[in-house]
Structure 1
Amino acid sequence: MVDAAVGSCTVTTGSDPEDGGSSSQSRIKSLDTTFTIVESLTDLDGARVTELADRTGLSKSTVHKHLATLVAHGYVVKEGEEYRLGFRFLDLGGYVRAQFTGADIIKSKIQELAEKTGEVAQYMTEENGEAVVLYREDGHHGVPSRTRTGKRMYLHQVASGKAILAQLPEERVDEILERHGLPRATDTTITDPDELKAELEEIRENGVAYSYGESTKGLYAVAAPMMAPDETVLGACVVSGPSHRMAGEPMDEEIPEILLSIVNEVELNIAHS
């Protein structure tokens, strides 16, 4: 293993480039610093240099230099003494989402799903062992939740994530569990690997996955996986709402029927597009 100085950056070489970025090897420290600042700006909803320095443990001069570079490239905007993320990120996010298989078809069907159920409808996919929200639409009864477009969540905590896990090879599931574990979000979150795998088997048999307040207390959800023509899983469609409206027939019959119909239609459109 060799450390090579590149300008003011340190690059550590000698690791596997396919390690998913989880190792500290083969990383440029100045970029780590930049992303730390970007993530802190997200968490703080904008901040001044001093606030970011306190938050990150970096010197104010270091924070200022990175912010100045981000501002020059349009990724951060300065308003008075405060900095916030710029819409340049939205451009990149829009581009990334547009590259997803069937993106244009999925968007309209998530809107339809929200209209038909009256609840919150979302489409999620898996990346690096996490669930990522690609689309979210609120029906006329939709309630606020902690999800938004681009939000990343643990797969085992959400119905859509379990729907995706159920369609992945067992060795891939094991890799995800080893990497992320089974952290608890609520009292009903599954934290036992054997219990999770037993539920994944039920999901494969029934075609739908459920969450009973496992991500957010009082929020129920039902999801169905969406498959590519080669039978690999693309993601999952999910409908969520408060337990008092979702429990019983809506969760057991009404919503799964609508959900599976829409998923089947999207799969056919993708297969023949």
Structure 2
Amino acid sequence: MAETLQSVHQALRILTLLRRHDDLTLTEIADRLGIGKSSTYRLLATLKTDRYVDQTPARSYRLGPAMSASAEAESAAHCAEVAHPHLVALCAATQETVHVSVLSGGHSEYIAGVEPDRALKVSTRLGSAVPAHAAAAGKILMAALTSRERDLLLPAAELTPLTDRTLRTRAALEAEVETAGRLGFARNVGESEDGVYALAVPIRRPVGRPICSLTIAGPASRIEVGPGEELSAREAVLLGRLREAAAAVEADLRY
């Protein structure tokens, strides 16, 4: 009985560790928890069988489907709650709508938002979702995924167009996602809806992948767009505000 309880305790420690840190190797898990590698391997094999953990092609481990859905939902809900005062401040500073979004399947879902008190604005649409390939939030969050993981989210080679500006192919999406990951932000200029502009940055965990994204959205007529990867003066101001707000949310999430 004592040995069984010890195994349960060690398995829970592994799950807790993987909840805080994505993609750890067998050696990293064993070293961080002070468990022998052979014992760690046996525990991971059991957890993998029951889909509590998954093993990546690089042989590292992360939470599996049996754990990740509930853990991600809890993390996202906490992020939305912590972010709210920062959303209010960001909206007041920019006079544009601000959102917190998460990836849900192949979609970007709005889980929190604040909109300005002005006639011409983008609505918050909390609880609604748009295809991830047509959203700035979706693109910046997909930048943290592997190509294989994006294949699972969006298996079709051709992407569903929402406007004339929507990316149509996986090749075009991969190029834009790579750019978003390199620059640390993503844009959407009329890709999900004509006349709507959005700029998104990730909200990151201390270690691992982003929890969610932070987006500023407004009428495209009000926000000049820079050429290529360049930002206009207005975009540069908005990006600076976004990054400051995201950093403030991340700091609050650590406590």
| Root-mean-square deviation (Å) | 2.4
Equivalent residue number for residue 204 of structure 2: 227
Distance across 2 between alignment mates of 1:224 and 1:259 = 7
Equivalent residue number for residue 127 of structure 2: 150
> Which of 164, 172, 187 is 1:195 aligned to?
172
Identity %: 23
Poorly superposed stretches of 4+, deviation over 4 Å: 96-99, 144-147
Equivalent residue number for residue 190 of structure 2: 213
- Choose 180-189 or 215-224, whichever is displaced more: 180-189
Is 1:117 matched up with 2:94? yes
Deviation for aligned residue 1:167: 1.3
Equivalent residue number for residue 241 of structure 1: 218
3-state DSSP of counterpart to 1:102: helix
Q: CA 1:104–1:174 in 2, change beyond 3 Å: closer, same or farther?
A: same
- Are the equivalent residues in 1 in contact too, given 2:160–2:168 (CA < 8 A)? yes
Structure number with higher relative contact order (C-alpha < 8 Å, ≥ 6 residues apart): 2
Q: CA 1:255–1:191 in 2, change beyond 3 Å: closer, same or farther?
A: same
Equivalent residue number for residue 253 of structure 1: 236
What's the TM-score, normalizing by structure 1?
0.60
Distance across 1 between alignment mates of 2:186 and 2:234 = 10
Distance across 2 between alignment mates of 1:218 and 1:183 = 18
Distance across 1 between alignment mates of 2:75 and 2:151 = 30
> Which of 148, 153, 163 is 1:171 aligned to?
148
In structure 2, stretches of 5+ residues that fail to align are 1-49, 52-72, 226-231
Equivalent residue number for residue 53 of structure 1: none
| Greater gyration radius | 1
Distance across 1 between alignment mates of 2:233 and 2:179 = 19
Equivalent residue number for residue 15 of structure 2: none
- Are the equivalent residues in 2 in contact too, given 1:97–1:103 (CA < 8 A)? no
What's the TM-score, normalizing by structure 2?
0.64
Distance across 2 between alignment mates of 1:107 and 1:232 = 21
CA deviations 1:6-42 (Å, max 9, x no partner) are xxxxxxxxxxx99xxxxxxxxxxxxxxxxxxxxxxxx
3-state DSSP of counterpart to 2:160: coil
In structure 1, stretches of 5+ residues that fail to align are 1-16, 19-95
Distance across 2 between alignment mates of 1:171 and 1:253 = 32
- Equivalent pairs counted in the alignment come to 179
Deviation for aligned residue 1:132: 1.0
CA deviations 1:212-266 (Å, max 9, x no partner) are 1001101111110111122212111111111121114355311000001111111
Q: Which amino acid aligns with 1:266?
A: V
Deviation for aligned residue 1:143: 3.8
Q: Which amino acid aligns with 1:258?
A: R
Distance across 1 between alignment mates of 2:237 and 2:160 = 31
Equivalent residue number for residue 132 of structure 1: 109
Taking the TM superposition and a 5 Å limit, the aligned residue runs for 1:179-190 are 182-190=159-167
Deviation for aligned residue 1:192: 1.1
